[in-house]
Amino acid sequence: MHIKTKLTKISRNPKNQNGFVNPGIYKGSTIIFNSFKEYIDDLKKRDDNKVKYGIHLNPSFKQLESAISFLYNAKDTVIAPTGLSAITIPFLAYLKKGDEVLITDSVYNPTRTFCENILKNFDIKIKYFHPTNYKNFNNLINKKTKLIFLESPGTATFDIMDIPKITNIAKRKKIITILDNTWASPIFCQPFNLGIDIIVDAGTKYINGYSDVLIGFVSSRKQQDAKIIRSTIKSLGIIPGSEEVYLSMRGITTLHVRIKEIEKNAINLAKKLSNHKLISKVYHPALPSMKNHVIWKRDFSGSTGLFAFEFKKKYSNNTLEKFYKKLKIFKIGYSWGGYGSLITFPPLDKRKRRNLRTGTIVRIYCGLEDSKDQIKDIFNAIKILNQ
């Protein structure tokens, strides 16, 4: 079966669902034992993940975990209540006092905030590396380096990383690698094929796709990592709500058709913007002008709806507000991946290399509106900058 067909079938079994095509919603914390002996046997279990409790054995959770594991070809997947909580789990699972972690400088800002505000309190050292220049990468690694965290394309500037190059180094030095794969989703990138050990995916975005859920996933390539990740998330008691799980299962069925339409819309707009006289650069991985475009073509099978462009000059907030007020379709909002188009003006002041760009950067998310309407909306707003 092809992927579009598989998405309508995975982890769905009408025979086990009383004939219903969709899985049920299980709400509750208590699971009743069938006998006193089963209860005694449960007390003897050394693996806390198999204990008979609502955190561990909710049937709808298992269905969604199995579906994501199937899509990523993972040994195991655990569900987190948000994308950010999914990101934090591997850090908490593998790092201890005195350890060091390497993180791409173009990382998602809340990931950086977690590292700076939480990890540093545990005497864990954070080192940021250039997302595309690895000339001094080996010099950052020492015996204390335990994790390497990647994100490709990177946040806001969409830097394309050479993932296999980094994972090959990590394997030689026995360092765990993590990739935030939210931008590509399992449809357009299979990180385990690139040497990644652990994938995090904010299912809030494309997996759900309807802007009505917060959820995240952590998928492991090896069984030994799967056990560590699952033990950590369950020990912390971090789980999503049952309805969020149900809605994410619903979203999977339309993932392919949504993301392909969104991909087309974004490429159409990116190409148009590339020729605008007020714009110096468009940061879209599918454009040949993008640095490491060849690497992107090698490692990814498609692109999605999120990209950015840079004006030739810096504009004040007053001017940007006028620009925004002209927009009818694109609304200011952070959590992309749904059906509606969004826009933000990301500051890069937290980056180590923040002074390399001279113009205002605008981040665009193309939703499911008609492409012609999206293009018209942005270009009409840009006209205000000429006045």
Task: Let me know: does 199 contact 152? Beta carbons within 8 Å.
Answer: no
Residues in the chain: 387
* pLDDT bracket for residue 386 (50, 70, 90): confident
pLDDT in tens, 321-363: 999 999 999 999 999 999 999 999 998 777 766 556 789 999 9
**Two tokens, residue 226:** 């799967």
Mean pLDDT over each residue of the chain, to the nearest integer = 92
Task: Let me know: does 98 contact 123? Beta carbons within 8 Å.
Answer: yes
In whole angstroms, what is the distance from residue 123 CA to residue 145 CA?
Answer: 13
Range with the lowest mean pLDDT among 26-35, 314-323, 345-354? 345-354
Beta strand 216-220 pairing with 331-332: unpaired
In whole angstroms, what is the distance from residue 276 CA to residue 251 CA?
Answer: 36
Identity (one letter) of the amino acid at 198?
A: I
With H, G, I as helix, E, B as strand and everything else as coil, classify residue 176: strand
* pLDDT bracket for residue 26 (50, 70, 90): confident
pLDDT in tens, 106-144: 999 999 999 999 999 999 999 999 999 998 899 999 999
Instruction: Give the strands of the sheet with 76-80, arranged side by side.
Output: 76-80, 216-220, 198-201, 176-180, 145-151, 100-104, 125-129
Task: Let me know: does 194 contact 54? Beta carbons within 8 Å.
Answer: no
pLDDT in tens, 211-238: 999 999 999 999 999 999 999 998 898 8
In whole angstroms, what is the distance from residue 311 CA to residue 279 CA?
Answer: 4
* pLDDT bracket for residue 11 (50, 70, 90): confident
In whole angstroms, what is the distance from residue 131 CA to residue 133 CA?
Answer: 6
Question: Which domains, ranges and CATH numbers included, belong to the chain?
Answer: 3-252 (3.40.640.10), 256-386 (3.90.1150.10)
- H-assigned helices in the chain: 3-7, 36-43, 54-57, 59-72, 83-94, 109-117, 163-172, 185-188, 223-235, 242-252, 255-274, 293-299, 317-325, 371-382
In whole angstroms, what is the distance from residue 315 CA to residue 198 CA?
Answer: 40
Q: What angle do CA 160, 348, 90 make, to 5 degrees?
A: 60
Residue 50 pLDDT > 90: no
Give the model's pLDDT for residue 387.
65
Q: Output the pTM of the full model.
A: 0.93
Residue 49 pLDDT > 60: no
Range with the lowest mean pLDDT among 16-20, 93-97, 121-125? 16-20
Residue 278 pLDDT > 70: yes
In whole angstroms, what is the distance from residue 60 CA to residue 206 CA?
Answer: 19
Task: Let me know: does 217 contact 68? Beta carbons within 8 Å.
Answer: yes
Residue 27 pLDDT > 90: no
In whole angstroms, what is the distance from residue 285 CA to residue 153 CA?
Answer: 7
Non-local CB neighbours of 369 within 8 Å, separated by 6+ positions: 265, 329, 340, 341
